[in-house]
């Protein structure tokens, strides 16, 4: 075989690998089996290849209440997939000469303050959106999560100074939503528009995302929108939509498969709309997908990746043979989503679900992606299905063990008396939590987050369990008291019972001091 023939053969092989497609009936079957395996009521999937939508379907039901079908046009909260829009909007402001990525945040928000004065003075717009603040994972999320708190954007900005760093500034990746809320406020102050108005009028409208809104509360036609669902007490149940508009810049967008594929095509076209309008300069668009904060690649990575990290509103990595993959996921209570692009293959995959199980979207995305990268069937459904079953069993066993101990403690008399622990406990950034006693049982309730209330149950000599009344949270916590020499509680800390708890329930970041 001569070199020309060899070159032609290699080219054809690469062409076949990069243009393979799962037959539609096989993809239909995969999604249906994914619904069953992970107990997800509804999933919508979209695939864009070489500028053409080759798959756009919904499967299952969008609501266990109405039983109406999940469709490709069914609206879903895309959650943190909104972060790419926030960074795109900021990049537009850079193009307009209204800010620079490396401007200090205090230039636009003078009251911005963190615990460390030097970090405060050095914190840039770029730092807001790259998860390298030094704060713990999800620090401060309880100010907007779950929905029902009375914290405003300004409250969140004012309270950042009370959050305790976990690592040094810019040294470690720790995902954080609150700094995206601050980024949304920067956009508002430099553009003169609210984050929601900017996203809808300056990005969604020209791009052609005709069904999408920047916030759940801006959706006026809810005739084709999901109900959220989650696994509670061993079974999947419908739950109310849960996202505070305060955090829209971090995760507020509501969209569907056709619109997200339109967004994908726009991005693959390097920020040029179908009408030929360029919304972002080539230089700024290039900047969005550059690695800013590195992340480790695990040994034996599934896609042979050499690097992984976070850009400006996007995760970036390389997959088989060096193709750049740009992606993000999103999660609300009751729904998770995934958005993946491999620009060099002109490929985009969108998976939207109405149940909070990430194994479902990983199964579908990886299977589709593999077909274009030339991998043999790696049975993601079987692997993730087994892992998911084991993980749920593990978490359930932890919770069962804890509540068995609670039952035993209920029969003992050597537990603190009401006068030892009832009262108001205050955290600098979260405010007051009240522990009360009605003569038969203890209650615990946040004063500023109305849906965080529940029963307080004895677990060990100085530790109780907060069992939240809303069982969909799956976020029960240990409450550990410290007592003075007279046996009166002086302070309390909290920690998760089970690792399945969403990181945005950052109870572990609270430092509660008894004030009354």
Work out the average pLDDT over 194-198. 98
Work out the average pLDDT over 234-247. 93
Confidence band, pLDDT 50/70/90 cuts, at residue 11:
very low
Is 412-514 a CATH 2.40.128.50 domain?
yes
Is 3-134+169-378 a CATH 3.40.1010.10 domain?
no
Q: Quote the CA–CA distance of 250 and 264 in Å, as a whole number.
A: 19
Domain boundaries for CATH 2.40.128.50 within the chain: 412-514
Confidence band, pLDDT 50/70/90 cuts, at residue 409:
confident
**pLDDT tens per residue, range 127-153:** 999 999 999 999 999 999 999 999 999
Per the CB < 8 A criterion, the answer to whether 112 and 156 are in contact is no
Does the structure show a pLDDT above 70 at 1? no
Q: Quote the CA–CA distance of 218 and 196 in Å, as a whole number.
A: 9
Domain boundaries for CATH 3.40.710.10 within the chain: 3-134+169-378
Which contacts of 491-500 are long-range, i.e. CB under 8 A and separated by 24 or more positions? 491/425, 492/425, 494/466, 497/398, 497/399, 497/402, 497/465, 498/395, 498/398, 498/399, 498/474, 499/395, 499/398, 500/391, 500/392, 500/395, 500/474
Looking at the whole model, is its pTM more than 0.85?
A: yes
**pLDDT tens per residue, range 30-61:** 999 999 999 999 999 999 999 999 999 999 99
Write down the H helix ranges in 60-112.
Answer: 83-95
Does the structure show a pLDDT above 90 at 3? no
């Amino acid at each position: 075989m001569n070199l020309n023939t060899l070159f032609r053969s290699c080219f054809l092989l690469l062409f076949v690998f990069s243009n393979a497609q799962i037959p539609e009936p096989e993809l239909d079957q995969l999604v249906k089996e994914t619904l069953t395996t992970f107990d997800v009521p509804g999933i919508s999937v979209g695939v864009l290849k070489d500028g053409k939508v080759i798959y756009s379907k919904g499967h299952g039901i969008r609501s266990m209440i109405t039983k109406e079908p999940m469709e490709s046009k069914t609206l879903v909260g895309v959650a943190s997939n909104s972060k790419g829009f926030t960074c795109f909007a900021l990049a537009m402001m850079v193009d307009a000469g209204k800010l620079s990525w490396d401007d200090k945040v205090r230039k636009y928000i003078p009251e911005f303050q963190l615990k460390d004065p030097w970090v405060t003075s050095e914190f840039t717009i770029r730092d807001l959106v790259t998860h390298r603040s030094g704060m713990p994972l999800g620090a401060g999320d309880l100010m907007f999560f779950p929905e029902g708190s009375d914290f405003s954007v300004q409250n969140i900005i004012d309270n950042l100074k009370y959050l305790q760093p976990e690592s040094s500034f810019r040294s470690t990746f720790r995902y954080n939503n609150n700094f995206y809320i601050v980024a949304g406020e920067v956009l508002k102050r430099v553009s003169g528009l609210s984050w929601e108005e900017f996203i809808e009028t300056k990005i969604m409208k020209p791009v052609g995302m005709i069904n999408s809104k920047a916030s759940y509360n801006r959706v006026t036609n809810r005739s084709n929108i999901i109900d959220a669902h989650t696994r509670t007490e061993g079974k999947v149940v419908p739950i109310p939509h849960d996202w505070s508009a305060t955090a829209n810049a971090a995760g507020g967008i509501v969209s569907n498969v056709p619109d997200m594929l339109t967004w994908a095509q726009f991005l693959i076209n390097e920020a040029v709309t179908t009408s030929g309008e360029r919304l972002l300069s080539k230089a700024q668009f290039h900047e969005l997908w550059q690695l800013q904060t590195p992340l480790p690649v695990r040994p034996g990575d599934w896609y042979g990746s050499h690097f992984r990290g976070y850009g400006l509103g996007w995760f970036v990595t390389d997959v088989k043979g060096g193709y750049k993959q740009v992606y993000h996921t999103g999660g609300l209570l009751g729904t998770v989503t995934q958005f993946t692009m491999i620009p060099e293959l002109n490929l985009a995959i969108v998976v939207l679900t109405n149940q909070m199980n990430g194994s479902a979207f990983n199964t579908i995305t990886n299977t589709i992606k593999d077909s274009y990268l030339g991998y043999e069937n790696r049975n993601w459904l079987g692997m993730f299905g087994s892992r998911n079953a084991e993980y749920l069993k593990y978490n359930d066993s932890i919770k069962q063990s804890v509540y068995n101990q609670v039952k035993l403690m209920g029969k003992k008399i050597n537990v603190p008396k009401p006068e030892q622990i009832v009262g108001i406990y205050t955290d600098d950034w979260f405010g007051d939590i009240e522990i009360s006693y009605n003569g038969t049982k203890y209650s615990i309730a946040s004063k500023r987050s109305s849906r965080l209330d529940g029963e307080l149950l004895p677990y060990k000599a100085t530790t109780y369990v907060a069992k939240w009344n809303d069982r969909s949270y799956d976020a029960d916590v240990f409450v550990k008291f410290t007592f003075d020499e007279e046996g009166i509680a002086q302070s309390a800390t909290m920690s998760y019972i089970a690792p399945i708890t969403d990181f945005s329930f950052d109870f572990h970041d609270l430092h509660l001091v008894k004030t009354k």
